[in-house]
Structures are given as C-alpha cells and as structure tokens.
Structure 1
Amino acid sequence: MSSGAIRGSRVGSGPMGEAERGEAAPRRAITFYCANVHTTVLSFAAEAEAPESWDCPRCGLPASQDHENPPTAPRTEPYKTHLAYVKERRSDDEAEQILTEALATLRERRASGDVLY
C-alpha cells in the first residue's frame, strides 16, 4: 500500500459533513406500488408535483400511488417483419400486379442492353 493513500474518507467529504454543504431542501416521501406488489418510496421536493406513475426499479412495470389498484402491465405487440406490414397494406392480387410490372420493366432493360446488378 502506498504511504500517500487517503483511507476512511470519500471525495467531497469535509470535516463538517452536512453543515458545510448547507441545508437540504424540504422533501416529502411518495410511495408507488406496482402490479407485482413491489413498493418504491421516492423523495420529491415539497413544492414539486409528484408524477402519477413511476417505473418500478425492481421489475420495470409501471407503478402508481394507488395501493389497491396498481396499473397493469402494458400490452406489448409481437414483432412484425417487413413482409407482415406489406401484407397488411396489399392484397395478393395487388402484389401479383406489382410483381408482374417489375418483372416486365426488368426484362425490357435487359433486352435494351442496360447493365443490371
């Protein structure tokens, strides 16, 4: 161990402790409850308006101040591929027509000698 090490203190601490930093602002504790029966107590400034919901730090579900009726988990939509979104917008007949037009254009370009990659 080096002889210049500072032990038993933290950076920013002074000999006076809290008195050196000044008084803390007045605070109030608000309790939030999630659907998994987790309780989270947060401190807010006395004059600040507390939010209606807060994400639970343990499970990530939304939490509210209502102990009897905590919010339910948000419904997550399953992952959709690009093809799934295209199929929602186009019918099979429309897709067939677009494919036919694209192939006709490609064949015309090949016949005229265009370089296609």
Structure 2
Amino acid sequence: MADRSLRGTGLGAKSFEDEAGVEFAARQEVGYDCPRQHHFTMVFSAEADIPALWECPRCGGESLRSDGERPEAKEEKPVRTHWDMLRERRSIAELEELLAERLTLLRAGELGSTAFTRSARPSKKTA
C-alpha cells in the first residue's frame, strides 16, 4: 500500500503543471453599459471582432459598448405578401382575364365547392 504515490489526490481534478514559461494570447477588456445602469466588462482576444451589443449578465437586456460604438443598422426587407408574389408573375390585365374566365365557369356550374357537386349526384343507397 505504501507504493502508491498518488494516494489522496483526485486524478484529473488537479494539475501538477505550473504556468512558468507559458505565453498567453493577447487579450483586451471591453466595457458594456446596460440601459438599467449595470456596467460589466468582457475579455476578448486582441484579434477578435468585438460585438457592439452584448446581453447583460444581470438582467438580460441588450447592453451597448462603453466606448460609444453603435451597432450597424441592418437593412430589413419588407414582408412579401401573397398579393406581392402574385403581382411578380402576372399583370393586372392577366388577373382580370383569369377572374372573368373563372366567374364564367362558376356561373355555368362547372366550378364550385364539393358541397354543390355532391348534392348533384344521385345517391347510391339501396333499400
């Protein structure tokens, strides 16, 4: 039992290496200010692109950088409706022509809901 040199140490829990001779990567601290008057700093690599917005660790609000850099406004596309997509494919004259054709078919009884076509069929009940 006396041959165990690691007795009493948790394997993997402790590192026996020291930091002598280790060169750490260059870092920078960036401060952020929350709208609720919270101030905090984050550490980033010197080569990293620093975000203008960061989530506040206390309240979860969007915090801006303390140095005053504002995020770039993203260009938002307007919402495309069904009508907008239809107008990309057809002109108003084509749509009016299609409407007239469909109304003619509907009035002639060739188009309609399934309720109309079911009532027109004879029933198949046998007594």
> TM-score, normalized by length of structure 2?
0.44
| Larger RCO (CA within 8 A; separation ≥ 6) | 1
Greater radius of gyration (CA): 2
